[in-house]
Chain A
Amino acid sequence: MGLAHYLARRVITFIPTLIGVLLITYIVAYAIPADPVRAWVGEKLLNREALEMVRKKYKFDAPWYEQFAFFVQQLLTGQLEDPIRYRNVFSEIFFRFGITVELALISFLFLVAIGIPLGIVAAMKKDSPVDFFVRIFALIGSSLPSFVLYYFLILILFVYYRTTSLAGIPLPSQTCTDFISSLPNQIPVLGYIVSAIGSVPMFGAAMCGEGGVVVETFRRLYLPALALALLSGGFIARIVRNSILDVMGSEFILYAKARGLSKLKIWGHALKNAMIPIVTVLGLNFGGLLSGAVIAENVFNIPGIGKYMYDAITRLNFPVIIASTFLVALIYLVVNFVVDIIYAVIDPRIRY
Chain B
Amino acid sequence: MNIVYRALRILIKIYTDIRDRITPGWSQKNSSRIREWELMAYAFSKSKIGVLGGFMVFITVVLAIIGPIISWEPYWIYKTITDPKLMYLPPCLPPWCSGRPILGTDEWGRDIVAMSLYGFRISFVISIVVVFFGSVIGIVLGLVSGYKGGVVDEIIMRLTDIFMAFPSLILAIAFAAVLPSRIRGFLGENIWFRNILSTIFGLRPQEYPQLAALLSVWIAMVVVWWPGYTRIIRGTVLSVREHPFIEAAKLCGLSTWRILVKHILPNVLSPVIVMITFDMATATLFAASLSFLGLGPQEPVPELGYMISKAGRYFPERSLHVVAYLGLVLLFIALGWNLLGDALRDVLDPRTRRALEFREEKV
Q: Which residues of A contact B (CB under 8 A)?
A: 13, 16-18, 20-21, 24-25, 28-29, 31-34, 135, 139-140, 142-148, 151-152, 155, 159, 288, 291-292, 294-295, 298-299, 306, 309-310, 313-314, 321, 325, 328-329, 332-333
Of all chain B residues, which has the CB nearest A155?
B316
| B312 contacts chain A at the CB level, 8 A cutoff | yes
Nearest CB on B from A303, distance (A): 16
Partner pick for B305 among A28, A34, A145, A294, CB 8 A cutoff: A145
**How many angstroms between the C-alpha atoms of A314 and B294 in the bound complex?**
10
Given A142-B281, A144-B334, A145-B330, output 12 extra A-B contacts at Cβ < 8 Å: A17-B161, A32-B178, A139-B339, A142-B278, A142-B334, A144-B331, A145-B285, A151-B323, A294-B173, A294-B293, A321-B174, A328-B170
A310/B173 in contact, CB under 8 A: yes
**30 cross-chain CB contacts under 8 A:** A17-B161, A17-B165, A20-B159, A21-B162, A24-B163, A31-B182, A34-B181, A140-B335, A142-B338, A143-B338, A144-B334, A145-B285, A145-B305, A145-B331, A147-B289, A147-B305, A147-B309, A148-B308, A151-B316, A155-B315, A288-B167, A292-B170, A294-B167, A294-B169, A294-B170, A295-B292, A299-B312, A306-B167, A309-B167, A310-B173
Partner pick for A28 among B175, B308, B316, CB 8 A cutoff: B175
**How many angstroms between the C-alpha atoms of A49 and B17 in the bound complex?**
76
Q: Which residues of B contact A (CB under 8 A)?
A: 49, 158-159, 161-167, 169-171, 173-175, 177-178, 181-182, 278, 281-282, 285, 288-289, 292-294, 305, 308-309, 312, 315-316, 320, 323-324, 326-327, 330-331, 334-335, 337-339, 342
A143/B169 in contact, CB under 8 A: no
B327/A145 in contact, CB under 8 A: yes
**How many angstroms between the C-alpha atoms of A17 and B159 in the bound complex?**
8
* Majority secondary structure of chain A interface residues (helix, strand, loop or mixed): helix
**How many angstroms between the C-alpha atoms of A295 and B295 in the bound complex?**
12
> What chain B residues lie within 8 Å of A298 (beta carbons)?
293
**How many angstroms between the C-alpha atoms of A333 and B334 in the bound complex?**
30
> What chain B residues lie within 8 Å of A295 (beta carbons)?
169, 289, 292-293
> What chain B residues lie within 8 Å of A314 (beta carbons)?
177, 294
A147/B162 in contact, CB under 8 A: no
Of all chain A residues, which has the CB nearest B53?
A139
**How many angstroms between the C-alpha atoms of A299 and B175 in the bound complex?**
22
B174/A28 in contact, CB under 8 A: yes
**How many angstroms between the C-alpha atoms of A175 and B170 in the bound complex?**
36
Q: Which 3 A-B pairs have the closest CB atoms?
A: A148-B327, A20-B162, A143-B334
> What chain A residues lie within 8 Å of B166 (beta carbons)?
21, 24, 325, 328-329
> What chain B residues lie within 8 Å of A325 (beta carbons)?
166, 170
A139/B293 in contact, CB under 8 A: no
**How many angstroms between the C-alpha atoms of A147 and B309 in the bound complex?**
9
Interface centre among A28, A29, A306 (most CB of B within 10 A): A28
Nearest CB on A from B37, distance (A): 26
> What chain A residues lie within 8 Å of B326 (beta carbons)?
148
> What chain B residues lie within 8 Å of A24 (beta carbons)?
162-163, 166
Nearest CB on B from A245, distance (A): 12
Given A31-B178, A139-B339, A143-B335, decide whether A21 and B165 contact each other with a Cβ distance below 8 A.
Answer: yes
Of all chain B residues, which has the CB nearest A328?
B167
**How many angstroms between the C-alpha atoms of A121 and B330 in the bound complex?**
30
Nearest CB on A from B295, distance (A): 8
Nearest CB on A from B38, distance (A): 26
Partner pick for B334 among A145, A291, A299, CB 8 A cutoff: A145
> What chain B residues lie within 8 Å of A159 (beta carbons)?
316
> What chain A residues lie within 8 Å of B293 (beta carbons)?
294-295, 298, 310
**How many angstroms between the C-alpha atoms of A213 and B331 in the bound complex?**
37
B174/A313 in contact, CB under 8 A: yes
Of all chain B residues, which has the CB nearest A18?
B165
> What chain A residues lie within 8 Å of B177 (beta carbons)?
32, 313-314
Nearest CB on A from B179, distance (A): 8
Partner pick for A139 among B158, B170, B330, B338, CB 8 A cutoff: B338
Nearest CB on A from B99, distance (A): 29
> What chain A residues lie within 8 Å of B169 (beta carbons)?
294-295
Interface centre among A139, A144, A145, A306 (most CB of B within 10 A): A145
